[in-house]
Amino acid sequence: MIATKRLEALANLIAILLNQILLATPTTLTTTTTITTTTETTTTTTVTTSTITTTTVTTTTPLCTTQTYSSSFTNAVAPTSAQCTAWGTFRTALTCSSYTLLQFYGSLSSSGLNVTDPTIVNGIAAALLNYSSYGPITSNGYSWAVDVCAGSVELTVGGTCTCSATYAIRACISNGNWGGISGTSTCSQASQTITVKFS
C-alpha cells in the first residue's frame, strides 16, 4: 500500500515535471511542403517540302514550205515583166532558213542538178532573198553561185554573169540572155522551161 502510494506520488511528480518542461520549451511545428513542378517541353518539327519543277523545252526546226519558180523562156527574147515579177515574188518568199534541197531543172533536163547540203542550200536561198552575192561554192561536183548580172539576180552553175555557165537563170535581164540549162552556153539558148525549187 505504501509502495503504491509512492509510485503514484512519483508518477505525479514526473507528470508535473513534464508539464513544466512542455510549458517552458516552445513547440515549433515545422511543415515541409514539397512542390513538384512538372515542366512539359513541346518540340515543334517543321517539315519543308521543296518541289523542283523541270521544264523541258523542245526546239523543233520548222519545215519549210516548198517554193518553186517555173517559167518558159523564148529564144532571143527578153523575159517579160510578168516573168521578172514572178521571179521577184519567188525570191522574197525564200524566208525559211532550214531548206534541205535545191533543184535546178527544166524541159531540156528533167533531172537537172541538185544541192543537198543544207548549209549551201540556205546560203543560196538567203542570197536570192537579199539580192546579194554568194559563192562560187562547190556542191555535188558543181560550182554554184548567186550574183547580180545586168540588173538581174542570177542563179548559176559554172560561172557568174558569163555565157560559159552551164546552168543559169536571169529572169529580169533586159535582153535574150536569160540563161538556160544543160547546155554549153547560157546565152541565146533554145526556147525552154526553167524551174528552180527549194524544199
Is residue 12 one of the residues assigned to a domain? no
* Nearby residues of 173 by Cβ (< 8 Å), 6 or more positions away: 78, 79, 149, 150, 151, 152, 154
Distance CA 116, CA 59 (A): 23
Is the pTM above the cut of 0.75? no
Q: Do the domain assignments include residue 30? A: no
- Rounded CA gap, 136 and 198, in Å? 19
Tell me, yes or no, whether 155 lies in a domain: yes
Per DSSP, what are the bridge partners of residue 153? 148
Burial of residue 176, with CB atoms counted within 10 A of its CB: 0-12 exposed, 13-18 middle, 19 or more buried? middle
Residue 92 lies in a domain: yes
Instruction: Give the count of domains, the chain.
Output: 1
Give pLDDT, residue 25.
Answer: 47
Given a contact cutoff of 8 angstroms between Cβ atoms, the answer to whether 67 and 197 are in contact is: yes
Consecutive 10-residue runs of the chain (199 residues): their mean pLDDT?
64 65 50 51 54 60 90 98 99 98 98 98 99 97 96 96 96 97 91 99
Residue 19 lies in a domain: no
Residue 194's domain comprises 67-198
- pLDDT at residue 27, rounded to an integer: 45
Residue 22 counted as domain residue: no
